[in-house]
Amino acid sequence: ACGAAMNATSPPGRWPNMRIANLHLRNFRGHQNLDLPLAPVTIITGPNGSGKSSIQQALEWLLSGCCSCTNERGQGPVAYAGARECSVTARLPNSGTITRSNPGGLSCSWAPNHKRPEVAIAQELGCDGSQARLALNAARYFRMSAADRKGLLYDLLGLHLSADQRS
C-alpha cells in the first residue's frame, strides 16, 4: 500500500528539517526532462496545464509510491505519454539522492543495498510515506477521523499515545 507506515522511529523535531535541494523529473506526467533547483521556500507559478500539479504529484509519488493519478497500490498513468519508463529523483543537501523509477522501484544513494529503502528514507527524512502524503495533500488530513489526526500529530512530535488515549 502507498505510504504505509514504515515503523521507523524518527527523533522529535526532525520533520521540519527535511530539505530537498533539487528535484529531477524524467518522463513524469507532462514533464519529459525537468531539473528544478529548490530553495528553502520555493513558489511555483504558471498557467493552467503548465505542470505545477505534476511537480507536487512527483514529490508525493517519490516519497510514498502513490499520488492523485494512481490508485492506492501505486498503479496508474505516471509516465509521460508514450514513454516506457519514468523517474523522479530528489537530492538532499547532506544525504544523497532518493530515486523512484517505473519500472525499477525505490532506491536511496546512502543505503544502496538496503532491503527496504523506504525505511532508510523514513529514518533520514524523519517521516514515512504516509506522513509525506499528508503534508503534500492537506485535504487528506481533514478527511481523517479526529482520533487518527490526533495520533498523527503525536507521531510527528515524537510523543506516544496508548490505544485509549487516541480516541
Mean pLDDT, residues 90-114: 89
pTM here?
0.74
Convert the pLDDT of each residue in 55-71 to its tens digit.
988 998 998 888 888 87
What residue has cell string 523506504? 118
Stated length of the chain: 167
> Looking at the predicted structure, is the pLDDT value of residue 14 above 60?
no
Cell (9 digits) for 152: 498523527
